[in-house]
Amino acid sequence: MHRLLQRQIKRFVGAGGGVPGELAGLLDAVSATYKQADTDRAMIERSLELASQEMLEQNRVLAEELKVRRAAESQLAYLANYDTVTGLVNLNLFGDRLKQTLAHAERHAQRVAVVVLGLDRFKLVNDSLGRDSGNDLLRIMAGRLAGGVRSGDTVAALGGDEFALILPGLEACAPGHMPPVGGQDCFEVNLLDIVQRLLKAVAKPATLHGQELQATCCIGVSVYPRDGEQAEGLLRHAAAAMTSAKRIGCGSVEFYTPDLSANISEKLAMQGQLRLALARGEFVLHYQPQVDLRSGRVVGLEALIRWQHPDNGLVPPVRFIALAEETGLIVPIGAWVMRTAGEQGKAWRQAGYERLRIAVNVSARQFAQADLVESVAAVLAETGLDPDCLEIELTESMVMTDIERSIDVLHRLKALGVQLSIDDFGTGYSSLSYLRRFPIDALKIDQSFVRDVGNPDDAAIVKAIISMAHSLGIRVIAEGVETEVQCDFLRLNMCDEVQGFLFSKGLDQRALTALLEEGRRLPAHLLHPVKRRRTLLLVDDEPNIVSALKRLLRRDDCLIFTADSALAGLAVLERQEVDVVISDQRMPGMTGIEFLRIAKERFPNTIRIVLSGYTELTSVIAAVNEGAVYQFLTKPWDDEQLRAHIEDAFQRKELVDENRRLQQEMHINNQELAKVNRQLRLR
């Protein structure tokens, strides 16, 4: 275009005459303007091309992530019924199969044996050879047990060193065998034969990492219908028999008898002591903080009961909760916990501390009470605690016992305004398909998965739980977080909160108050990254230039740092995270291009621009080609054009950052959207 204009001007002034000086200058200026326009257009087209390529790459990454997520969720659904170490069925599927087997046995008037088998001294293997060797031993034993029974039998892994078996169809006599023999019928003969085979299978030497090991086991047996008619009772009785066999010694076998579950006199004594403990006020609460991974602040507490026994000191709940549940004392004890936690939560609020959510565990027997909702409402009324500051923790097994009743009770609790969470999530109950129907606010990932996030299977489960929960708008809390490695894994996978010894153990009221007063937080490197304000560094040795640029950019929402030399600019970059750097070219001690080359090497994520009144084309072109300089702009500048160039630089920086932020932001946005959808659906 500018050449055409030049020819027309020459034709205008005459073929033989020259172009007047003023007109020639005008022609040169017009020509330069068109050249600059061509250059700007090329740069814009290149920027658009790069942005398009980056968006295509982002779409590819999203598609790949969706594929991985679906695979992880599919794996989680599978692992809900199978043990991750041995591949055997887990407690969930074992319970279903046992119920089906008992129903068949009832119709045909048959007996069924339930066997619980525990390896002896397994902890010694883990401690001396390591967890991997322990898992290898479990896999070996799982294969032997599965190979030592009949095709219709079920072998399950209960967790730890324990296995369980269902042995139906033992009534038939072997050919030539006429019962009774030695006072035993065919069922008993066949059962003893299988038990002996199991003992021998376990006792065969096993080689672990070059070391030969000979294991033994103890076995407990219960028989339907003699020892019980319900699946849970039969399994519990077989486990009690196995525990009794352990007391006898390695390699022992015990059959259940009515007084075998535990030492009856000891149970009765503790039962009486429990009743007195409640009346005498011997129970105390400790509180374990739950920490938000965005802010690092304590946002919740779990109330943990302890028994201050007058003779035995502080007794942990594992010693008495099961007995309290069995005897029904858990109902008044649970009511005391909820009321005491509510009173303390209200007291902390009145003392000026931030609103804290207090989680209280509700037992299966409490959940089964017809007046549960009314009792929770009464606690809220009596204590004055805000309803959304009380969180009711339930277990998967509890809500899965009676699905329809659970849905009704949970909705009624939710109507009070309290929060609801599922504790120990992922431990084997197949509630995945029902989560959408439960008005749950939070899932707590069981510490058994958190403990070993370095294991690919456990890591996949944790990722799938977080992804699935967020897709439903459900908050995720990880229990048992003890190391920074575990916390960092959870942070990177967008877990919402953590609870565990990494931050704090359970504390009594006085110690927890001191922690709140201190304002303790998780360190910043363990928190989710947050979107920052844009940051700009201006480097120029002329104060008037720096002042003019700051005035120009004050309308823009960016944080501006300044430096009067290249060395001062590098010092700022060491201290602050900077998005865009604008530097003068001619400065004492170091040129702008030299400064930006160093900045590129040490701070490669910055976008670097030269703004100078001096043009040294050779060095500028070299710096642009090697990536040290993104743009070269000249002084004096047009205000709006300069602001546009700076905006373009910020946008480029944000495109570069986008891929790193994309996954995390997608999780957050999906979670919020799903939460809104869930609230609308549950109304």
Least confident of 190-199, 258-267, 322-331, 520-529: 258-267
Non-local CB neighbours of 529 within 8 Å, separated by 6+ positions = 661, 664
Q: 427 or 443: whose pLDDT is higher?
A: 443
- Token pair 């060797």 in the structure block, residue: 133
Whether the per-residue pLDDT at 635 is higher than 60: the answer is yes
Structure-block tokens of residue 197: 């085979």
The answer to whether the CB of 488 falls within 8 A of the CB of 526 is yes
The dihedral built from the CA positions of residue 226, 231, 232 and 236, taken in this order, carries a sign that is positive
Structure-block tokens of residue 447: 């510490």
The dihedral built from the CA positions of residue 665, 666, 669 and 670, taken in this order, carries a sign that is negative
Mean pLDDT in residue range 52-76: 76
- C-alpha 636/C-alpha 552 separation (Å) is 13
Q: How many CB atoms lie within 10 A of CB 665?
A: 14
pLDDT for res 675: 65
- Mean pLDDT for the chain overall: 84
Could you report the per-residue pLDDT of 637-649, keeping only the tens digit for each?
A: 888 888 888 988 8
- C-alpha 471/C-alpha 476 separation (Å) is 11
For residue 646, which of 581, 576, 563, 565 has the smallest C-alpha distance?
A: 581
| Phi then psi dihedrals of residue 81, to 5 deg | -115, 0
pLDDT for res 93: 92
pLDDT for res 563: 93
- C-alpha 181/C-alpha 244 separation (Å) is 28
Q: How many CB atoms lie within 10 A of CB 388?
A: 13
> Can you spell out the DSSP letters for 653-665?
HHHHHHHHHHHHH
Least confident of 258-272, 307-321, 456-470, 541-555: 258-272
Cα–Cα distances in Å, from 399 out to 395, 396, 408, 432, 546?
7, 6, 11, 12, 65
Could you report the per-residue pLDDT of 96-111, keeping only the tens digit for each?
A: 999 999 999 999 999 9
Q: Which stretch, 63-72, 351-360, 396-405, 428-437, has highest mean pLDDT?
A: 351-360
H-state helical runs in 432-542: 447-450, 456-471, 484-492, 509-518
Q: 211 or 348: whose pLDDT is higher?
A: 348
Mean pLDDT in residue range 323-343: 91
Whether the per-residue pLDDT at 305 is higher than 70: the answer is yes
Least confident of 58-62, 260-264, 337-341, 628-632: 260-264
Whether the per-residue pLDDT at 661 is higher than 80: the answer is no
Structure-block tokens of residue 30: 């017009």
The torsion angle over the Cα atoms of residues 529, 534, 538 and 544, rounded to 10 degrees, is -140
Domain 288-520, CATH among 3.20.20.450, 3.40.630.10, 3.40.50.300, 3.40.50.2300? 3.20.20.450
Mean pLDDT in residue range 602-626: 79
Structure-block tokens of residue 614: 């001096």
Q: What percentage of the chain has pLDDT greater than the value 70?
A: 84
Using the 8-state DSSP alphabet, how is residue 15 labeled?
Answer: S
Q: 177 or 40: whose pLDDT is higher?
A: 40
- C-alpha 382/C-alpha 320 separation (Å) is 28
- C-alpha 200/C-alpha 190 separation (Å) is 16
- C-alpha 316/C-alpha 241 separation (Å) is 25
Give pTM, 2 decimals.
Answer: 0.49
Taking phi first (over 0 means left), then psi (-120 to 50 degrees means alpha), and beta for anything else, what does residue 399 get?
alpha
Could you report the per-residue pLDDT of 231-277, keeping only the tens digit for each?
A: 999 999 999 899 888 878 888 999 998 866 545 456 667 778 888 89
- C-alpha 355/C-alpha 298 separation (Å) is 10
Whether the per-residue pLDDT at 468 is higher than 70: the answer is yes
- C-alpha 338/C-alpha 382 separation (Å) is 11
pLDDT for res 181: 46
Structure-block tokens of residue 608: 């670097």
Q: Given pLDDT bands bounded at 50, 70 and 90, which one contains residue 130?
A: confident
Q: How many CB atoms lie within 10 A of CB 52?
A: 10
Mean pLDDT in residue range 33-38: 70
Whether the per-residue pLDDT at 624 is higher than 80: the answer is no
Least confident of 121-125, 441-445, 565-569: 121-125
Least confident of 3-12, 196-205, 286-295, 340-349: 3-12
Domain 91-174+182-261, CATH among 3.30.70.270, 1.10.760.10, 3.20.20.70, 3.30.420.40? 3.30.70.270
pLDDT for res 267: 65
Least confident of 4-8, 142-146, 448-452, 633-637: 4-8
pLDDT for res 315: 84
- C-alpha 131/C-alpha 84 separation (Å) is 14
- Domain 534-660 class? alpha beta
- C-alpha 286/C-alpha 321 separation (Å) is 15
